[in-house]
Amino acid sequence: MPKELIRDMFNGETYQIIDDGKGHTHRTDPEWWALKVGWSRDVGAVDLVAVELNESGVQVNEVDAPDRHIWLDRAGINDLIRTLRKARDQAFGADA
């Protein structure tokens, strides 16, 4: 099954997360995260799972629990693409 990693934009830097609008904030320790995307024509699905990487970019945790994976069929992938485009355009503006 081919696999690709999409790295977290913070790439190991410490950053703040602002909670649910109630004024709470907390800091996270430096971590390297990525979204692992795997697929197989034989399975007929795409597998998404968040994974932690070490400083060299090598995956340090293998999340084998089925509830940690998101399996998408073609319709699910199309929904994800539409949602990501909408999120991108609303966060950064539409492409020219």
Q: Are 22 and 55 in contact (CB under 8 A)?
A: no
- Pairwise CA distance, residues 53 & 61, whole Å: 7
Whole-model pTM?
0.69
Could you report the per-residue pLDDT of 32-79, keeping only the tens digit for each?
Answer: 778 889 998 898 999 998 888 877 777 776 655 656 788 999 999 999
